[in-house]
Amino acid sequence: MPAVGTALRKAALSAGVRAVASRSFIATSLTSSPSLASPTARGYATTSQAAPTPPAPAPTMSQPVFSLAGKLVLLTGAARGLGLVMGQAIVASGADLAMVDLNKEETETQAKIMVETFKAKYPDQRIPRVTAHYANVADESSVDACIQEVLAAQAEAGAVSPNDITINGLVTSAGFVENVPAVDYAPARLRALWAVNVDGTYLFATAVARHLQSRQEQQRASAASADASASAIAELATTPPASMVLIGSMSGAIVNVPQPQAPYNASKAAVRQLAASLAVEWAPSGIRVNCLSPGYMQTPLTQAILAKQPALRQQWTNGVPQGRLGVPQDLAGPVVFLLSDAAQYITGADLRVDGGYTII
């Protein structure tokens, strides 16, 4: 390792901080996925060539334990960025998908593309139902209305009653990040960021949990009226099992300095703790809750930044032990895994997809 890199790394480790390469303003729209923590460059340097970015894998039908066939997943922030890629992976794994975003028109377009892509790749498989919905994740009435619309739309597509539809999975990908000094960050802007990143996550998680718990009560009542056995009724306490994946960020566990993003870091730390707390509270209902925390991801936002500041690419990459920035497809496997039955005994976890960035 170069002497300069070694010295910088030792200094960074001893001080317990991470040196940041840029203080440029970074913001995403309210509907985009929380892409990555602010650009940083630490004193970690690789001596070998950077690992090549893997090509986007072609979607394939999963092995049964990883399959999402027969499940309905609701995804917020679904129209673009990381949310869109995760949605593509969910559909490729066989699930029905309810795509939720502020931009319903764009969401409808992407929903059609997903269905056509699936038909082309899996002509002999059942075609997943993919529906598009509007919601302001920060507004409770909008969230509740969206849940009812999802159930109605999926029921209509499947020619069944809305009472027969169960949301088996939730992925909360709506959010945004801004880099502004704390002393200059207006309280109104702080409340807006918190409303989307934290309140939006909480509102959708609790709305889906109420839906699931209500379905369980209905099933228990139906079983009791049919004189089902006590063991059969008790089994309904944890069925249907459901999984929630709350999208956090590695910035919920580390502090990027000196780049100012205290409100964003705090919001993602809240999401991480929310996932852990809800996991414990809802475990008796069979609801698993985990946090998925991306690191540096080459989203359209970051690509635009790198186009203006090309030197940042190497600076960012030098801080990642795997020697490359992430691509959105790196989240495809993890999100499908956490939603699937393969992760039945995993709840309250924070899965960081960061190429090892936060472990050094």
353: nearest Cα among 277, 285, 294:
294
DSSP 176-196: --B---GGGS-HHHHHHHHII
CA proximity to 157, closest of 187, 203, 126? 126
Which position among 264, 267, 340, 357 bears the catalytic label? 264
The two tokens of residue 7 are: 């010295």
pTM of the model: 0.81
**Using omega within 30 degrees of 0 as the cis cutoff, is the peptide bond preceding 64 cis?**
no
Question: Strands, DSSP E only, in the chain?
Answer: 72-76, 96-101, 130-134, 169-172, 242-247, 287-294, 350-353
Per CATH, which fold does 67-298+327-352 belong to?
Answer: Rossmann fold (3.40.50)
According to the model, what pLDDT value does residue 179 have? 83
The helix or strand, by DSSP H or E, that contains position 154, with its residue range, turns out to be helix 140-158
pLDDT at residue 63 in the model? 64
Interval 182-229: pLDDT, tens: 999 999 999 999 999 999 999 999 999 999 999 888 877 777 777 666
Please report the pLDDT score of residue 230 as a whole number. 67
Please give the distance of CA 43 from its chain centroid, rounded to a whole number. 29
Q: What is the DSSP string of 207-265?
A: HHHHHHHHHHHHHHHHHHHTT--HHHHHHGGG-S-EEEEEE--GGGTS---SS--HHHH
Q: What is the pLDDT of residue 307?
A: 84
- 27 vs 249: CA distance, rounded Å: 15
Q: Is the peptide bond before 310 cis (omega within 30 degrees of 0)?
A: no
44, 93, 268, 293: which is the annotated catalytic residue?
268
Give catalytic status of residue 268 as yes or no: yes
Domain ranges of the chain: 67-298+327-352
**For position 122, what pLDDT does the model report?**
94
- Model pLDDT, residue 213: 92
Catalytic residue, chosen from 173, 249, 251, 267, is 249
Rounded-to-integer distance, Cα 7 and Cα 266, Å: 30
What's the pLDDT at 161? 83
Residues of the chain with pLDDT under 50: 1-50, 56-59, 62
Strand partners, 132: 99
Least Cα distance to 25 among 267, 295, 268, 308 occurs for: 308
